[in-house]
A and B are shown apart, each in its own frame.
Chain A
Amino acid sequence: MPTTGEILLRIDGVLKENRRIENVYIIFTIALFVCGIACIVMALVTEKFAWSAPSVVTTTLLYKPLQEIKELRRKNIALATAPILITLLPRQKAAEEIQKLLQALYGDVQ
């Protein structure tokens, strides 16, 4: 059975990795956004409005990374909450709350 210290260490590790993934997504989102803006500026400067078409695509592509960032933040909250639940609540109640967290994050699947 892992000790509290080991659990906290592992949670920190997963949080760190989640943060790294989140940063990648943020960079990707910024890159897409800048591309879209650049296209619109190009359209205005050159007065060729065909240049504004790619920004539609980049805006659509923004959906996925934003969704992932939102999901990662929800997971981080769950991870940060778990040790508090374990230390503050009785075992039975803590288990119930963590199971509810899992179900809220991933649905009722195993």
Chain B
Amino acid sequence: MASNDKTKDLLKELLANLYLQQAQGTPSTGPSYLIAQDKQFLGRVTENAYDPDSLLNRYGPYGSRYSQTSIFNTYSPYGSPYGQFSLRNRYSTQPPKLFLNGRFSGNVSENQYVPHRIPAESFLYALHHNIGGLLRGNFVESEATARALQRESFLLANDGTYLGSLDTSPYSTDSVFNQFSPYGSMYSPTSIFNTYGPYGGQFSQLSPFNPYSSRPPEVYLNGKRAGHLTVNAAFSDRVDPNRLREWVDQMNR
């Protein structure tokens, strides 16, 4: 998190301390809220974006990207892809709990094996675009739909598993083009480049590299389905996985 710019680091630290002090002084939760499994309150789900405790208040301790108690801070324990209690951590077994109108609604997580799971993307999409629906318990059905509605470019396995974004930045934490991300690494079970994983190799039905597969992953470009990612020439709308990077560059031009 530390940069070479001491001014920036100092201001960020001051801000984080202020938010921490605010978070410690939070009196009540309200009927709809998010709470971490270490009992840290993570903000109210409310239509009022000016409520200081609202998840939607960009300048509050629960909505700011600089606060240590915010799910939007990618360096906080609750918003980081590596945080133990984070909704962004694909391996966390202790994601935040969502309570709507006083009742437990589910665990908001990117980990698809968590019981009573609400996909993090669906929750965040509803939070920003349909909070009324969210308060009534209506979510977008799937993570893929939420991502498509947000016009993201990504890969989706035939079994509904998200297989990474098509962000061409090599530093993107969920890009298939980042060889150290869970979707670009040769060793990750959710990577199409893992020869021995369920989504890679020449023999898996869900792999884009299986020339006989009938269930290859789908490619979404800017929220629209662009075709199948497969080496199987039988697909008329196929995108060659060996030339995926060139294809993305070409389409983004």
Contact = CB atoms under 8 A, between A and B. Distances in A.
Interface of A: 1-2, 7, 10-11, 14, 17-18, 75-76, 78-79, 82, 86, 91-92, 94-96, 98-102, 105-106, 110
Interface in B61-90: 61, 64-66, 73-75
Interface string B1-28: 0000011101110110111111000000
B60 interface: yes
B52 interface: yes
Contacts of B66: 99, 102, 110
Given A1-B20, A98-B15, A105 B8 contact: yes
9 contacts: A11-B10, A14-B6, A18-B6, A78-B11, A94-B18, A98-B14, A98-B15, A100-B59, A102-B8
Contact of A86 (B18, B60, B64, B74): B18
Contacts, number: 65
Contact of B73 (A18, A95, A106, A110): A110
A22 B58 CA distance: 33
A99 B17 CA distance: 12
Interface of A, secondary structure class, is helix
A14 B3 CA distance: 14
A82 B64 contact: no
B59 A95 contact: yes
The secondary-structure label for the interface of chain B is helix
B30 to A, nearest CB: 17
Given A110-B73, A110-B75, A91 B21 contact: yes
A14 B10 CA distance: 8
A96 B59 contact: yes
A2 B58 CA distance: 24
Interface in B16-66: 17-22, 52, 58-61, 64-66
Contacts of A95: 15, 18-19, 22, 59, 61, 64
Contact of A82 (B6, B14, B20, B60): B14
Contacts of A7: 14
Contacts of A79: 7, 10-11
Contacts of A2: 17
Contacts of A11: 10
Contacts of B7: 14, 18, 75-76, 78-79, 105
A110 B74 contact: yes
